[in-house]
Amino acid sequence: MLSPHEIIIRQIETANRLDGGDRDALRGLPLRLRTISGNRDIFREGHRPTECCAILSGVGCRYKIVGGGRRQIVSFHFPGDMPDSQSLFLEKMDHNLGTITPAKVALIPHAAIIAVMDQRRSLATVFARQGQIEGSIFREWVANIGRRSALARVAHLICECFERMHTIGLADNATFELPITHAELGDATGLSNVHINRTMRTLRGDNLVKTVGKVHTICDWTRLRELADYRPDYLHLLGKDIET
Amino acid sequence: MLSPHEIIIRQIETANRLDGGDRDALRGLPLRLRTISGNRDIFREGHRPTECCAILSGVGCRYKIVGGGRRQIVSFHFPGDMPDSQSLFLEKMDHNLGTITPAKVALIPHAAIIAVMDQRRSLATVFARQGQIEGSIFREWVANIGRRSALARVAHLICECFERMHTIGLADNATFELPITHAELGDATGLSNVHINRTMRTLRGDNLVKTVGKVHTICDWTRLRELADYRPDYLHLLGKDIET
DNA sequence: CGACAATTTGATCTGTCTCAACTATGGTGG
DNA sequence: CCACCATAGTTGAGACAGATCAAATTGTCG
């Protein structure tokens, strides 16, 4: 089991090259650890956090509530992610940050992160890059929700979650645990929970994904990618492609 | 008519406080001016630009092509916007940047921007903030496309475009020129051009927006905002609200 | 074991798409 | 200055993807 700092560093290194000094500086960040139950808010829209939150275990998400009370999840977050680095530069939360599953998180004072960016130009660049990658993922979600069929849309989300979990070592080969309910997948893809169910069934019927409880196995990565129109460039990962 | 540098500064100041030194530093940026006709690409997916592009006049957009050739526009850009500041940190374009209308643009070498950020901590923060605001707008678009009806969705986009143009002085009271075709609005909202037409007709019928050619007039800002579920916090503007 | 949450399935409804035709509109060359 | 052409907007009819509603089944956790 990695330490909190190493979980954060591992995630950053999926998309950034760090040198020893960078890692040491990150290890110096003060962390306040907290355990949060599932389906709870960490920061709410309108709040003005003074700390950033890093996910250490479990799954988090960011979401908005639109008029009429419908929910749109705009991102999922896995261990190592810092979902609200934006609060470093934008005082007021324009969305909610919450947990999907029970989670351990680390709270890091803004001041400490600003200090580390001031001391090390390279880390300022790293944080900027992380922010840009986040933006890139949002763009892909816009395209996914706006222009893909329900089937491709859900498949695409599964591809993305699988690849992101894979790169941080949370997938065993083609098998990974994705503890996200159909209702939540619906809120992320702009579909109804019922239709998520039918779509997952189709993926199962086509022998693309096998699901047992929360554990999914990709049966045919090549065909799934193709169906999903999944081209992972937008994640801007450094590492190797996933073996087919 | 403002100079290119002042157009860029004006846009930045809608969301950031600059001091005299910041403005002077920005005025020192070397600009290569170009005129581009409408409906043309500036940077394509896969390219590795070495310059950032700022829009000086006209309307630009960023878009993705999904499998099957359908297009999703992920953002519109008005004078002063720097649509691809992301290329400072992500080598490879994951989307296309193009013009909607004929446009004048300024190309700014990455090196010059990096230099100005290195010299002035405050400007590094400004660029980081600009990037975060961009991300915030993407999140709102995800929610808009994912969870709002066609009518609210189109109304929301109109509200956003109006407010953004208003803050940079491109709206005369409640009247502004939005030279975007129905097909393009459809590509931005995930709807068909035909349905955009019907939706605009409804907005007209309800006396919310009047349209003559490319010139739109907001007839009832309060009701339009309400219908659109438009709460502009996500733009993180500094200025005053629009008068109703 | 009981209770609550999540999944599954069926039936029906509807918002939006697609296809197709027709009508402005604006720009261009003769 | 007009005729022409391409582009954009408009309208109608019909089809369909996905929503909604309702109920049954399964899973999970105290």
Closest chain B residue to the Cα of A91, Cα to Cα: B236
pLDDT at residue B244 in the model? 67
**B220 Cα to chain A: minimum distance (Å):** 19
- pLDDT reading at A155 higher than 80: yes
CB of A170 closer than 8 Å to CB of A176: yes
**pLDDT over threshold 90, residue A177:** yes
- Minimum CA–C1' distance nucleotide for A181: C6
| Percent of chain B surpassing pLDDT 90 | 95
Judged by CB atoms closer than 8 Å, whether chains meet at B189 and A146 is answered as yes
Q: Which of B74, B138, B143 sits opposite A66 (nearest CB)?
A: B143
Average pLDDT score over residue span B146-175: 97
Q: Do B131 and A135 touch (CB under 8 A)?
A: yes
Contact A142 B74 (CB under 8 A): yes
Where residue A242 falls among pLDDT bands split at 50, 70, 90?
Answer: confident
Q: Chain A: give the shortest CA distance to residue B210, in Å.
A: 24
With tokens 């650890």, the residue in question is A33
- Chain B 35-54, CB below 8 Å of chain A: which residues? none
**HSE on the CB side for B217, CA within 13 Å?**
8
Whole-number Å distance, CA B191 to C1' D11? Answer: 18
H helix intervals, A32-189 = 110-119, 121-147, 150-167, 182-189
Average pLDDT, chain A: 96
| Residue entry with tokens 């581009």 | B36
Please name the residues in contact with A55: beta carbons below 8 A apart, sequence gap of 6 or more.
Answer: A77, A78, A79, A80, A81, A82, A83, A103, A104, A105
Contact list in B for residue A156 (CB cut-off 8 A) is none
Is the pLDDT at A241 greater than 80? The verdict is no
- Residues of chain A with Cβ-Cβ distance to B121 below 8 Å are 118
Query: Rounded to two decimals, what is the model's pTM?
Result: 0.97
pLDDT in tens, B2-54: 999 999 999 999 999 999 999 999 999 999 999 999 999 999 999 999 999 99
Task: Tell me the mean pLDDT in the region B95-120.
Answer: 97
Place of tokens 């998520």: A196
